[in-house]
C-alpha cells in the first residue's frame, strides 16, 4: 500500500513538472532526456571474487543473487539498496587500481547514502578497514559527512549523508527525474525457504 502511495506521489510530481516544462520550453530549444529509469549496477574487476563477495556482503550489506548461467566467466552478482554490483574475476593486474592503499576523495568512486554515519564508522573500525573521514560545510551551514575507503582491489567507496544537500539544477534545460520503484527487479522470497523444507 505504501509503495503504491509513493508511486502516485511521484507520478503527480512528474506530471506537474511536465506542465512546467511545456510552459518553460515554449520558444526554446529542448534537449531530450534519455529514457532512463535508474542506475542498475556497477561492475568491478577483482583479483579474487570470493574476497570481494565477503567485503561487499559483510561491510556494505549486499546480498549475493543468482547470475545467468550463460555467463561463462568467473564472477558474482550482488544486490541491495536498489542497485547491483557485478564482480568479474580479472587475471590482468594492469586493469586494477595501481595503488590500492592510496585514499584520495577526488579519485573515482561509488557513493552510498547512509542513515547512521557513526554506526558505519564504528563498523569500519571494528573490521580494521583503513578510511579517511571528512566533513564539508556549505555556505548555508549544511554539513555533509563522508567516509572514504577501498575494496580489496583498490576501488574506492564513499559513504555519506549527502541527502542533506538540496538538488539544485544549474542551467540545464532538462528536468531531474525521480526514480520509481518499478526499476527494482522482482525479488523471489520463498525460494530458499522451499529448498529448506
pLDDT at 25: 46
Maximum pairwise Cα distance, the chain: 65
Selected catalytic residue, list 6, 24, 54, 158: 158
Interval 26-37 mean pLDDT = 62
- Most confident option among 23-32, 46-55, 89-98: 46-55
Q: Which one, of 48, 78, 45, 55, lies nearest residue 128 by Cα?
A: 55
Asked whether 9 and 179 are in contact (CB, 8 A), the reply is: no
Percent of the chain exceeding pLDDT 90 equals 53
Q: Which domains does the chain have, with CATH numbers?
A: 37-94 (3.10.180.10), 97-171 (3.10.180.10)
pLDDT tens, 58-88? Answer: 999 999 999 999 999 999 999 999 999 999 9
Backbone φ/ψ region at 143: left (φ over 0), alpha (ψ -120 to 50), beta: beta
Label the pairing between strands 63-65 and 41-46: unpaired
List the single range of 17-26, 29-38, 121-130 with lowest mean pLDDT: 17-26
Q: What is the pTM of this model?
A: 0.75
Percent of the chain exceeding pLDDT 70 equals 74
Label each residue of 141-184 as H, E or C: CCEEEEEEEECCCCCEEEEECHHHCCCCCCCCCCCCCCCCHHHC
Instruction: State the chain's mean pLDDT as an integer.
Output: 83
pLDDT tens, 100-151? Answer: 788 999 899 999 999 999 999 999 999 999 999 999 999 989 999 999 999 9
Q: Which one, of 194, 173, 192, lies nearest residue 32 by Cα?
A: 173
Verify whether residue 54 is a known catalytic residue.
Answer: no
Amino acid at each position: 500500500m505504501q509503495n503504491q502511495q509513493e508511486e502516485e506521489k511521484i507520478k503527480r510530481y512528474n506530471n506537474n513538472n511536465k506542465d512546467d516544462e511545456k510552459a518553460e520550453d515554449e520558444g526554446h530549444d529542448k534537449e531530450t532526456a534519455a529514457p532512463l529509469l535508474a542506475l542498475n549496477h556497477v561492475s568491478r574487476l577483482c583479483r579474487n571474487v570470493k574476497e570481494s563477495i565477503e567485503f561487499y556482503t559483510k561491510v556494505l550489506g549486499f546480498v549475493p543473487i543468482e547470475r545467468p548461467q550463460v555467463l561463462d566467466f568467473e564472477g558474482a552478482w550482488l544486490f541491495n539498496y536498489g542497485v547491483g554490483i557485478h564482480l568479474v574475476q580479472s587475471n590482468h593486474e594492469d586493469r586494477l587500481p595501481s595503488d590500492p592503499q592510496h585514499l584520495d576523495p577526488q579519485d573515482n568512486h561509488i557513493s552510498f547514502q547512509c542513515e547512521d554515519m557513526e554506526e558505519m564508522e564504528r563498523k569500519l573500525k571494528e573490521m580494521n578497514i583503513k578510511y579517511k573521514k571528512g566533513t564539508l560545510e556549505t555556505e548555508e551551514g549544511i554539513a555533509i559527512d563522508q567516509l572514504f575507503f577501498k575494496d580489496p582491489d583498490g576501488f574506492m567507496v564513499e559513504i555519506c549523508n549527502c541527502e542533506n544537500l538540496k538538488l539544485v539544477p544549474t542551467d540545464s534545460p532538462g528536468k531531474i527525474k525521480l526514480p520509481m520503484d518499478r526499476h527494482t527487479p522482482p525479488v523471489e522470497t520463498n525460494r530458499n525457504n522451499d529448498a529448506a523444507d
